[in-house]
Structure 1
Amino acid sequence: MTVIESAATPAPDHQPVPAAPQGGAVLVLGGGTRLPQMLRDHGMYVVYAGSTGEFTAAHGALCHEAWLLAEGSEDAWLSRAVALHREVPFVRVVTVRERFLTAAARIGDALGLGGNPLETVLALKDKSLMRRLLAERAPDSAVPARVMGTPGEVDAFVARVGLPFVLKPRDGSGSEGITIVRDEAGLAEARRLVDGRPGALLAEQFLEGPEFSVETFSGQGRHQVLAVTEKFTGEGSVEIGHVVPARIGAEERAALEEATRVFLDAVGLREGPGHTELILTAGGPRVVESHNRPGGDGIVDLVRHVTGLDVRDLLAAQTAGAPLPAPREDVAGAAATWFLTAEPGVVREVSGWEAAAGQPGIVGVSPDVEPGDAVGPLGGSDDRCGSVTAVGATGDEALARAREAVGLVTVRTETAGAEAAQAPSGSQGETR
């Protein structure tokens, strides 16, 4: 395997590589090892491109070549891909990483490799573009929204849609930076945020109802629904639990699936994974946001436990031009993940993960903090402290097992001095 490491912008020189297998060469941007493994199993020549920090020995064993950058802009990834393509002609560029989605689309466009149009990927990244496309192409699904340029525009938006409303980054992910503005104090804070970040925040009408996501896989513009995920949120709309399949009736499920297909058609998604988040309002489903990647927070694993399908395997088969894997029958009836949260501060004690892992139906535990780590207020996915995944015959059983197992884990935090500047001073917290 040839490994290229660089932090400079010129295209790297490297030794000639063997001719690609009959399946052709594929550029994989970021991610773990499952996708490269499956692509290689399909006979493709795998070139991995990512950061030096995420490349592992397992990647080295699976990939024919690796091209690593300590840091890199989209322009840097594009210029290197174009240069490398002259030596190792790619038939496709793929990624399952949020931060590489637009880079992959730009490379695909520049090299004429097909895939999802750049316009589609940009619309999914930029929620203001997404709202504009929906208003034009699927007005029945549209939600009032506007990019906030000045504090005065906040007041104008409230005069139009009323309170509450949602203020969030136009290109955010992971529930980061979402604010629900409910009263005058919230309005004052919204004006301050917009004044500090003009043009970066999107105001949307608040949608009332339970939250779901629809996991899909598309080919030639046809969208296969893999699962409907039921979602649970905590402070700041941060997700704290999921269950697959969602515990809803057939009519609600059909409405969510149809709204998702209409949305994906409207934005022009052609192929690959999709993760579309919706709220089931009294007036029907409304899309919150969507991504041309698999769902995060372990949703890929929940879908696999329930259907036998892993979206990365589907993507590898599609990329290689092979038949897509079929669902299995020897699967769980339902699967659920519950996340652990803790009071803000410095972690002093973590215990109970072994006990949680030994409970009935538990198929995975993921500790995310250890003593000495700092825990901030719950403002995004990165502020959670770990998770437990369970399977069961029903959604109720899987969810109960996951929550009971999380209840066996203790994360004790302490706020003191500069170590916990984000938390109230002098407090202690213990969360299970």
Structure 2
Amino acid sequence: MTGTTSPRLVLVESNTTGSGREFCARARALGVEPLLLTRDPRRYAYVEQDAIPHLVTDTADRESVAALCRGLGGSVAGVTSSSEYFVATAAAAARSLGLPAPDPEAVDRCRDKALQRRILAAAGVPGPLSREVRSTAEGAALARVAGGTVVVKPVLGSGSDGVRACSGPAETAEALRPLLDAEPGRALVEEYLDGPEFSVETFDERVVGVTAKRLGSPPRFLETGHEHPADLAPGAERALAETALAALRALGLGWGPAHVEIRLTTAGPRIVEVNPRLAGGMIPALVEAATGVDLVAATVARVLGAPVPLEPTRSEAAAIRFLFAGQAGTVALVSTDGAERSPGVVRAAVTVREGARVEVTHSFRDRIGHVIAVAPRPARAVAEAEHALGLLGVLVSRDDDAALPAD
């Protein structure tokens, strides 16, 4: 494999769902062969399905990844990752080869949410009151002083894993315990921000658009859907965009894609967190459906040093709604026909197969399907997506043999 002269895009690990497969497809569309570096290629079904070349290596060792990439010689045209956990590792490898990449130290600073909070606060970028804690007693004391709802979150992670709204010291200590028992033994206790949540999708130092985020019921912050573009007054959209760009500047980012989550409170925009990567939750597909801007293709092009296409080719509104596993069990029946034929729907998918086992984790991993609808206006796109979601069929059989539809 290492003797080939074909240009390669090296991908350090991948999403198990979402855009990982699309990175490979976009590379091939540009005449570049993807090469996945992974500890376990069996984690990614698309590797076998799409015949993706891969090498097994210890991707947790940053220097080993860089050395392997250097050993591939001049065939490496770019190095990146579609997984937040490996963006800095890929960036370090790319820079060791003199290839385009974000600053790996800036990515590391951003990924440590406690450090991110301190940097943003020092730069005057608005966010919640936040304290790093190392014990449940310390967190419970903060909750007692706050006297209302606080938010507990890990200092490392993605997909809202471990993020929980807590009322009072006992709930706060309970939520902190598993976070503090895991590496790195630190967590955050933060002020609860009231108001709707949005994300600003950026590329380099440019705002691509603002997405409205739909969250499930407390205490968890599970994303149930999105709309793009968000239906906002121009002044609110401008305030969100300016806050996102200020955060990127403070953190030393502004290369390639970023996904900045913000609450629009009565006091103005407040940063929830900055993610130095493409958005998850199928937001890139939503942006493409609404505007024609392919953020995955843009990211691959940026990494390869090619021209980056970011000009919109259409002006529509798009909405996505997710189907969640409502109970643990075995998938007994899958049907997408009704949703696919529903008005406005451009994508309807179930991501589990009949016979597969599903669990309920109260995280994004409970998503087992989605629909995307497009319409001239956001409200119409939302109505069509929500109607189609009800037509997306998945029956889950419990262990006692009772079959119930997914939520």
Assess if the C-alpha contact under 8 Å between 2:12 and 2:59 holds in 1: no
Q: Which residue of 1 aligns with 2:17?
A: none
Indicate yes or no: 2:133 matched with 1:148.
yes
Assess if the C-alpha contact under 8 Å between 1:44 and 1:320 holds in 2: no
Q: Which residue of 2 aligns with 1:121?
A: 107
Q: Which residue of 1 aligns with 2:392?
A: 409
Which of 22, 29, 41 does residue 52 from structure 1 map onto? 41
Q: Which residue of 1 aligns with 2:317?
A: 334
Compared with structure 1, are the counterparts of its residues 364 and 152 closer, same or farther at alpha carbon in structure 2 (3 Å cutoff)? Answer: same
**Mean Cα displacement is larger for which, 177-186 or 126-135?**
177-186
Number of residue-to-residue matches in the alignment = 394
Whole-Å Cα distance in 2 between the matches of residues 351 and 143 of structure 1? 42
Indicate yes or no: 2:17 matched with 1:17.
no
Which digits, 9 at most, give the CA deviation of each residue in 1:29-80, with x for residues without a partner? 34445434544555657544344233236354xxxxx4421x63421x6324
Assess if the C-alpha contact under 8 Å between 2:10 and 2:79 holds in 1: yes
Whole-Å Cα distance in 1 between the matches of residues 21 and 177 of structure 2? 43
Whole-Å Cα distance in 2 between the matches of residues 30 and 37 of structure 1? 15
Q: Match for 1:35: what amino acid? A: F
Q: Identify unmatched segments of 5+ residues in structure 2.
A: 15-19
Which of 359, 362, 366 does residue 379 from structure 1 map onto? 362
Q: What TM-score do you get using the length of structure 1 for normalisation?
A: 0.82
Compared with structure 1, are the counterparts of its residues 415 and 87 closer, same or farther at alpha carbon in structure 2 (3 Å cutoff)? Answer: closer
Whole-Å Cα distance in 1 between the matches of residues 51 and 206 of structure 2? 30
Q: What TM-score do you get using the length of structure 2 for normalisation?
A: 0.86
Assess if the C-alpha contact under 8 Å between 2:339 and 2:348 holds in 1: yes
Which digits, 9 at most, give the CA deviation of each residue in 1:112-148, with x for residues without a partner? 54522222111222211111111222x2414222222
Indicate yes or no: 2:384 matched with 1:398.
no
Whole-Å Cα distance in 1 between the matches of residues 9 and 179 of structure 2? 42
Whole-Å Cα distance in 2 between the matches of residues 287 and 234 of structure 1? 19
Which of 220, 239, 244 does residue 228 from structure 2 map onto? 244
Whole-Å Cα distance in 2 between the matches of residues 298 and 194 of structure 1? 27
* Alpha-carbon distance, 1:109 to partner: 4.6
Compared with structure 1, are the counterparts of its residues 352 and 159 closer, same or farther at alpha carbon in structure 2 (3 Å cutoff)? Answer: same
Whole-Å Cα distance in 2 between the matches of residues 103 and 348 of structure 1? 37
Q: Which residue of 2 aligns with 1:231?
A: 213
* Alpha-carbon distance, 1:367 to partner: 0.5
Assess if the C-alpha contact under 8 Å between 2:327 and 2:398 holds in 1: yes
Whole-Å Cα distance in 2 between the matches of residues 38 and 150 of structure 1? 45
Identity, in percent, stands at 31
* Alpha-carbon distance, 1:328 to partner: 3.9
Q: Which residue of 2 aligns with 1:28?
A: 11
Assess if the C-alpha contact under 8 Å between 1:151 and 1:194 holds in 2: no
* Alpha-carbon distance, 1:324 to partner: 2.3
Whole-Å Cα distance in 2 between the matches of residues 189 and 207 of structure 1? 21
Q: Which residue of 2 aligns with 1:422?
A: none
Which of 263, 278, 286 does residue 247 from structure 2 map onto? 263
* Alpha-carbon distance, 1:325 to partner: 1.7
Indicate yes or no: 2:163 matched with 1:178.
yes
Assess if the C-alpha contact under 8 Å between 2:209 and 2:229 holds in 1: yes
Compared with structure 1, are the counterparts of its residues 358 and 332 closer, same or farther at alpha carbon in structure 2 (3 Å cutoff)? Answer: farther
The structure having more radius of gyration, on CA atoms, is 1
Q: Which residue of 2 aligns with 1:358?
A: 341
- CA RMSD between the two structures: 2.8
Q: Which residue of 2 aligns with 1:303?
A: 287
